[in-house]
Amino acid sequence: MFRYEIKKVFARTGGKVALAMLLATLLIGCRLAAGDYYVNENGDYEYGVAAVRKLRALQKEWSGILDEEKLRLAIEEITAIAATPQGQSKDVRESNIAFSWGQATYEIRLLLNNSFADDFQTNDYYRAQSLTPDDAKSFYSNRVRLLKEWLADEQKGAYYRFSDAEKAYLIRQYETLATPFYYDYTGGWLRLFDWYPWIAMITVMVLGYLVSGIFAGEYQLRADAVFFAARHGRDKAVAAKVWAGFAIVTGIYWMMVLLYSAFVLAWYGADGMACPVQATRYGWKCFYHITIGQEYALEVFGGYVGCLFISGLVMFLSARGRSAVVAVLVPFVIIFLRSFLGQADSKIVGEIMGLWPDLLLQMRGTLAYFNLYELGGKVVGAVPIMLVLYGVLTAALVPAIYRAYRR
Amino acid sequence: MELQLTEVTKSFRDVNAVDHVSGTLRSGVYGLLGVNGAGKTTLMRILCTLIRPAAGKITWDGQDIFAMGGEYRRLLGYLPQDFGYYPDFTVQDYLYYISSIKGLRTVTAKRRTDMLLEQVGLSQVRNKKMMKLSGGMKRRAGIAQAMLNDPRILILDEPTAGLDPKERIRFRNLLSELARDRIVLLSTHIVSDVEYIAGEIMLMKDGRIVLSGTPEELSDAMPETVWNCMVAPNRVGAFLRDYKVANVRNLKGSVQLRIVSAEAPTPDAVADIPTLEDVFLYHFGEKAGEEDVSL
């Protein structure tokens, strides 16, 4: 039964087209992720594996504990490059040459920009070159200071956005983060995270299309009478449909994620897995204490939970409504609704949107958002809540789909 | 082996689709004859437990069929009027899939599939996709799926709909072959489909079984007489308006009419033995001719 349910999905022309779309998505995603470049000493751009290797080798020179000494050296190098004629030049090629000298410290420069920003929410690319080596000692304390200033600012800050407990939680998270960071080249992971949400979103939309027909198809093809009049038409055959749906979601999702991950990490290397996310330009403000490797795990498992939930919802609606028309729209609605409602000036809507299932498909963004919830007097970030919430809801959908369809 | 219906009733809004139907079905072929909308499909869907009756009871050897659930459906083979299939499956895969949802073991499924494909004449096209089959072939595949579990109760809803006369005859012969040792309930609005193979015919009208019996019993029980008479071509219209005309045959210079009537329609009309078609015409009147009833 199970095998034939899967065969039904992929025997259709629509099923084959969907697979082709997924393959195209994977190829485009890999191509986009492989777009990193290296600028040579002449100021020319180089692309491809060889360029990536050069950039990686340069940045690896700075791997290790990012302590005051290393930061001091980095500031010295950045300011020295900025002081050269090329660093001062308005000419593109000259600027590119200066950039090529600074590629080794490029990621550290971005961290310095964050640390020494004027306030928590601004960022100036040229800030690092105006620092002195002595500034290095306040690199980590700035992070906490800027947060505290932001939380206390009634005008432009987040004074009214968080409760006292939430503010205390954020400050505690910042203060207890282990420093100095272990720093390494993380190009592979950063590129992987760049395009993962795009791949996950297209995958979930295609999966929604694929699984929407599992239940509605019997009615659409008018095969329901024979199906339900069969001995197992209201028990095992329905269960086979449910499992086939989740098996398709599982198989395709992991195939997409693992092939994409394997390609990107093979292209760039998997260095930096043990670095805290705060040691990267995107994770500097993150209040979760996790490493890059843990972020990857959250990305892919969160995406899996999101795919299971959204596809499960599609199956439930198609089983209940006996039509795929409405059900197939569910992934689109889920993905795009937050773009509209997310702007609403309502605390309740904001809190709901902070747990919206599409956030599971773009975990890097979710980890960066300051979405906090108070549960039983305890402040918790959105990520663990979402993983539990949608895990439980997905588990609840399994019997719900079964009951909705079995008559 | 007894399927007992007691006062089975089902309404859709204000229409009594099945109205207090009772009867007992034992081994043999039963023809359910009625015009479109008589309630045949609803009754069959109830017998397949696809619809629950609003009132009444159906038992199989004394047990309620709805309470039996899967155990009852294990005994059931069903070919719906609107037979849906999976267009991208081959005939063989389709039958294997239906075997699996019918709970057949793989070995049994293969054996039954091979046997039935041979029986319905589809062995040569077993690897062809369902959507590539002709209408008659699809119906035969439909019969094969209904027979996969060697059902005790075989329910065929308008199985010959849309088939050409040759396929229809082939289908009738096939059905006679399959009908041994089981209850076969065959619904149709085409008299000739059941005339030769049904042991008992039930006439269904407005949700009720208005008459049942063997074809001979039904013919004998007809209260009116069948007449053959010759009329002038310009009088045919008047006869069609005033009488139940079973057949109109144009001859040179005149028209021969077959009329069901208590009185002789013309002084020279000759009484004839009623056929099942005449009985059908008598009970269903002008509605009987809505679709190719004379085939």
Nearest-CB residue to A231 (from B82, B93, B102): B102
**Nearest-angstrom CA–CA distance, A209 and A204:** 9
pLDDT bin (cut points 50, 70, 90) of residue B291 is: very low
A11 contacts in B (CB within 8 Å)?
86, 88-89
pLDDT digits (tens, 9 = 90+) for A35-69: 889 999 999 999 999 999 999 999 999 999 999 99
Q: Which pLDDT does position B286 carry in this prediction?
A: 58
Nearest-CB residue to A229 (from B48, B84, B86): B48
Cross-strand partners of B33: B188, B203
Question: Burial, B241: exposed, middle or buried (Cβ in 10 Å; 0-12, 13-18, 19+)?
Answer: exposed
Which of B:179-238 have CB within 8 Å of A? none
**Nearest-angstrom CA–CA distance, A165 and B211:** 82
Q: Of A135, A137, A143, A157, which is closest to residue A115 (Cα–Cα)?
A: A143
A322 contacts in B (CB within 8 Å)?
none
Strand B15-25 and strand B3-12: pairing? antiparallel
Q: Which two tokens stand for residue A152?
A: 């206390």
DSSP secondary structure of A50-95? HHHHHHHHHHHTT-EE--HHHHHHHHHHHHHHHHSHHHH--SHHHH
Cross-strand partners of B203: B33, B211
Residue B78: closest C-alpha in chain A: A226
Q: Give CA separation, A335 vs A250, A252, A338, A397, in Å.
A: 19, 19, 7, 19
Residue A224: closest C-alpha in chain B: B84
**Nearest-angstrom CA–CA distance, A264 and B74:** 53
* A284: three-class secondary structure by DSSP: coil
Which of B:89-108 have CB within 8 Å of A? 89, 93, 96-98, 100-103
Looking at the complex, report in whole angstroms how far the Cα of residue A206 sits from the nearest Cα belonging to chain B.
Answer: 20
For Cα atoms A41, A46, A47, give the angle at the middle one, nearest 5 degrees. 155
Q: Does B50 touch chain A (CB under 8 A)?
A: yes
Residue range B117-131: average pLDDT?
Answer: 93
**Nearest-angstrom CA–CA distance, A381 and A376:** 13
**Nearest-angstrom CA–CA distance, A204 and A335:** 10
DSSP secondary structure of A337-378? HHHHHTT-S-HHHHHHHTT-GGGGG-HHHHHHS--EEEETTE
Q: Of A283, A292, A279, which is closest to residue A108 (Cα–Cα)?
A: A279
CA neighbours closer than 13 Å in the CB half-sphere of residue B52: 6
Nearest-CB residue to B78 (from A7, A218, A229): A229
Identify each DSSP E strand in chain B by its residue range: 3-12, 15-25, 28-33, 55-60, 63-64, 76-79, 153-157, 183-188, 200-205, 208-213, 225-231, 244-251, 254-261, 270-272
Asked if B47 contacts B80 with a C-beta cutoff of 8 angstroms, the reply is no
Is residue B114 predicted with pLDDT exceeding 90?
yes
Instruction: Mark out the alpha helices in A176-291 (DSSP H runs).
Output: 187-220, 224-229, 236-268
Percentages of chain B per state (helix, strand, coil), in multiples of 5: 35, 30, 35
Q: Which pLDDT does position A326 carry in this prediction?
A: 87
A223 contacts in B (CB within 8 Å)?
84-86
**Nearest-angstrom CA–CA distance, A346 and B30:** 68
Count Cβ atoms below 10 Å from residue A110 Cβ, excluding itself.
18
pLDDT bin (cut points 50, 70, 90) of residue B287 is: low
Contacts of B78 (CB under 8 A, 6+ apart): A225, A226, A229, B44, B48, B146, B154, B155, B156, B157
pLDDT digits (tens, 9 = 90+) for A154-193: 888 788 889 999 999 999 999 999 999 999 999 999 999 9
pLDDT digits (tens, 9 = 90+) for A236-295: 999 999 999 999 999 999 999 999 999 999 999 999 999 999 999 899 999 999 999 999
Report CB contact under 8 Å: B87, A221.
yes
Is residue A106 predicted with pLDDT exceeding 70?
yes
Q: Does B4 touch chain A (CB under 8 A)?
A: no
Q: Which two tokens stand for residue B138?
A: 């699809």
Is residue B244 predicted with pLDDT exceeding 90?
no
Residue-averaged pLDDT of chain A? 93
pLDDT bin (cut points 50, 70, 90) of residue B292 is: very low
Q: Does B84 touch chain A (CB under 8 A)?
A: yes
Q: Which two tokens stand for residue A176?
A: 């207890």
Q: Does A181 touch chain B (CB under 8 A)?
A: no
Looking at the complex, report in whole angstroms how far the Cα of residue A241 sits from the nearest Cα belonging to chain B.
Answer: 11
pLDDT digits (tens, 9 = 90+) for B223-232: 888 888 998 8
- Kindly report which listed range (A92-96, A395-399, B233-237) carries the lowest average pLDDT score: B233-237
In a mutagenesis test of the A interface, which of B101, B105, B143, B155 is the best target, namely the one with the most A β-carbons within 10 Å? Answer: B101
Residue-averaged pLDDT of chain B? 88
**Nearest-angstrom CA–CA distance, B238 and B248:** 13
Nearest-CB residue to A233 (from B73, B79, B145): B73
CB pairs under 8 A between A and B: 82
